[in-house]
Chains A and B, each alone.
Chain A
Amino acid sequence: MNEEILAEVKGVYKAYKVRTHFFKKISFYALLDVSLKVRKGEVVVLLGESGCGKTTLGKIFLDLEKPDKGDVFWFSYNLKSLDKRLYKEIRPKIQALFQDSFASLNPRFKVKEILSEPYIMNFRGSKKEALEKALEVLCQVGLSEEILERYPHQLSGGQRQRVALARALITQPQLIVLDEPTSALDMTIQSQILTLLKRLKEIKGLSYLLITHSLPTALEMADRIVVMYLGRILESFKKEVFRRIDHHPYTKMLLRAFPDPFSENPPEVSTIKGEPASLLQRKEGCEFYPRCPEADSLCSKERPTLRGNNEYQVSCFKRHFN
């Protein structure tokens, strides 16, 4: 694999403030010391509990949120010291596709305007050029010309999602952050979009940071899977070793609880133990300790760090490498 790194976060922290009692505010960490790279042509999938900070991490990659501590790199430029002109040039190369494309498409614009605007803005092209480009990306996502004249509310969910993808593609990105891009769509459209994303990856060498709750989607798409928990990375592994490694206890819990529609075996829900974790009351020791079936007294006192090699890294005292 080409080792060129497109985007990277290093030691990133992000805190949010929220009200508790009337005027009192407290802050909590949504991300804690997270480091992650996305290489050229690579699909990195983020899995993890709801509220564990996946969207926040995605936004930091996109520079839609600033970290409180730590660094973000685009094409090995540190955003902190990147000058404005260069920033503007690089910016369009990193795009996003969110779950709710309806909210992100301007309802008063026709599809042709939605698509050509970012092109004109970023490449200072003419209207005519932009329209040609619009047609080209529309074609790439499998939509036909007549869609150009429609407004977002006149499209089906799957069509809207493809328009949003076309808009992301028109600026010729190298990395797209996909935040649950298909979870609201039916199976046939989901698989169309996933097939499409895979094809674009092959043709254009695109990279994705894909956030999803769906295990089959993760396995279908990923080169690397990263499991998060309470704002930290618990485990990170290459897809090839998925079946071979001794996973983190949390990942094991996920795998057992997964409802497979085409298997004879029902999901093992009883293996899910304990209350969902709280960002507000962090205990000492391993973050997963209160719910972990394998935990012992060490786990309640000390916090493990991410250890391992390029293929497989895990943050657990009970996992060993030779």
Chain B
Amino acid sequence: MALLKIKDLTVGIKQTGEKILKGISFSLNPSEILGILGESGSGKSLTALSILKLLPPGLSYFKGQVLFEEKNLLELEEREVNKIRGKKISIIFQDPLSSLNPVLTIEEQMEEIFQYHLGIKGKKAKDLMIRTLKEVGIPDPEFRLRNYPHELSGGLRQRVMIAMAIACSPKILIADEPTTALDLTIQMQVLELLKSLNQEKGLSIIFITHDLGILRWFAHRILVFYKGQILEIAPTEKLFKNPLHPYTKLLFNSYPGREELEDLNLWTQERLDQSLCPFYTKCAMACKESLEREPKLREVEPFHFVRCFLYE
């Protein structure tokens, strides 16, 4: 049984009706680490926000369901969603500066969360704060509690966000590029911490990142996003051994030192787009079928799904 199931999630701009997420479906299994990879602007962050009903103003849900504990979160009252957010499902936002309150110290912000979700305050709350900050590798946690967000380096800020997200022992953690500002040793330590929460406490994680190395050694399964659609789904090892979609191949070949990119023609003007395949405009293959119908996400090998005419 899936822990979280997203069905045909379609989100777009309210005024124009333009779709940004075009029918996203996937599930998160208990104790799974699910990686999300994809183009900048393909809707990864928006998917994360949609799950918790945190859509930015101007956008709305057109279709779809987010099923968690037998309820569709999208139909719940704000009051009920609030109880789940931060407690059962918590999220680390992509931009830590904008999601920390600039006029409150770290201690004041953590206090708020603890009081709201755990009902603890005072010394008990403070002990827990210090412990969690230590766990995510923040030196001098007591001192850092008195800092305002702008006084922290990029990496410290990001670790504070991680600490806040795991402090209430959630069931699901959605992490949107949580380690991009961290250096390698701390990044690996934070990942080890998340891995141990995953293994020991069964924490399920949705992990969004552009870092192929992290996904390779951390995620169990990977989704590849492109222009609001999922192009490929596969268990991690399979995906790295045998990427199927031309976009996934391009992504892997873009890794520094792998191949000279000049050949890959990324600079060409996009082809005029009347095609129904999202990758048509940049694809070396550019199948003719794309002009007639939409490629469907198909299981072409066990557990390996791809949306591409080449495999139909």
Let me know if B184 and A216 touch, CB within 8 A: no
- Report chain A residues within 8 Å CB of B140: 278, 280-281
How many Å lie between the Cα of A195 and that of B255 in the bound state? Answer: 12
- Report chain B residues within 8 Å CB of A184: 40, 94, 177, 180, 210
Interface residues on A, range: 35 or more
Q: Which of B46-54, B124-132, B150-158, B304-312 contacts A (4 or more CB under 8 A)?
A: B150-158
The distance from the CB of A45 to the nearest CB of chain B, in whole angstroms, is 12
- Report chain B residues within 8 Å CB of A254: 184-185
Let me know if A157 and B41 touch, CB within 8 A: yes
Q: Does B15 contact A (CB under 8 A)?
A: no
The distance from the CB of B46 to the nearest CB of chain A, in whole angstroms, is 13
Q: Which of A34-42, A84-92, A264-272 contacts B (4 or more CB under 8 A)?
A: A264-272
The distance from the CB of B241 to the nearest CB of chain A, in whole angstroms, is 10
- Report chain A residues within 8 Å CB of B266: 188, 192
Let me know if B185 and A158 touch, CB within 8 A: no
Let me know if A55 and B153 touch, CB within 8 A: yes
Let me know if A185 and B213 touch, CB within 8 A: no
Let me know if B261 and A192 touch, CB within 8 A: yes
Let me know if A156 and B180 touch, CB within 8 A: no
Let me know if B255 and A262 touch, CB within 8 A: yes
* Binary CB contact string for chain A from 193 to 204 against chain B (1 if under 8 A, 0 otherwise): 011000000000
- Report chain A residues within 8 Å CB of B147: 18-19
Let me know if A50 and B186 touch, CB within 8 A: yes
Q: Does A32 contact B (CB under 8 A)?
A: no
Q: Which of A18, A48, A190, A260 contacts B183 (CB 8 A)?
A: A48
Q: Does B197 contact A (CB under 8 A)?
A: no
- Report chain A residues within 8 Å CB of B153: 50-51, 55
Q: Does B254 contact A (CB under 8 A)?
A: yes
Given A142-B267, A275-B137, also A50-B155 (CB < 8 A):
yes
* Binary CB contact string for chain B from 95 to 123 against chain A (1 if under 8 A, 0 otherwise): 10000000000000000000000000000
Q: Which of A55, A142, A253, A262 contacts B240 (CB 8 A)?
A: A262
- Report chain A residues within 8 Å CB of B139: 275-280
Determine chain A's interface SS by DSSP, over half rule. Answer: loop
Q: Which of B62-70, B78-86, B214-222 contacts A (4 or more CB under 8 A)?
A: B214-222
Within 8 A of A (CB), among B135-154: 137-140, 143, 146-147, 151, 153-154
* Binary CB contact string for chain A from 172 to 206 against chain B (1 if under 8 A, 0 otherwise): 00000000100111111111101100000000000
Q: Which of A144, A213, A261 contacts B182 (CB 8 A)?
A: A213
In the complex, the chain A residue whose C-beta lies closest to that of B218 is A259
Let me know if B257 and A49 touch, CB within 8 A: no
Q: Does B8 contact A (CB under 8 A)?
A: no
Contact surface of B with A, Cβ cutoff 8 Å: 38-41, 94-95, 137-140, 143, 146-147, 151, 153-156, 177, 180-189, 191-192, 210-218, 240, 250-252, 254-258, 261-262, 266-267, 269
Given A49-B186, A183-B210, A280-B139, 12 other A-B residues pairs in contact with their CB atoms under 8 A: A19-B147, A49-B155, A50-B153, A157-B41, A180-B154, A188-B250, A213-B187, A254-B185, A257-B188, A267-B213, A269-B188, A278-B139
For the complex of A and B, the 7 pairs showing the least CB-CB separation, nearest first, are: A50-B155, A259-B213, A278-B139, A261-B212, A216-B256, A261-B216, A191-B254
Contact surface of A with B, Cβ cutoff 8 Å: 16, 18-21, 47-52, 55, 99-100, 142, 144, 156-158, 180, 183-192, 194-195, 213-217, 219-220, 253-254, 257-262, 266-267, 269, 272, 275-281
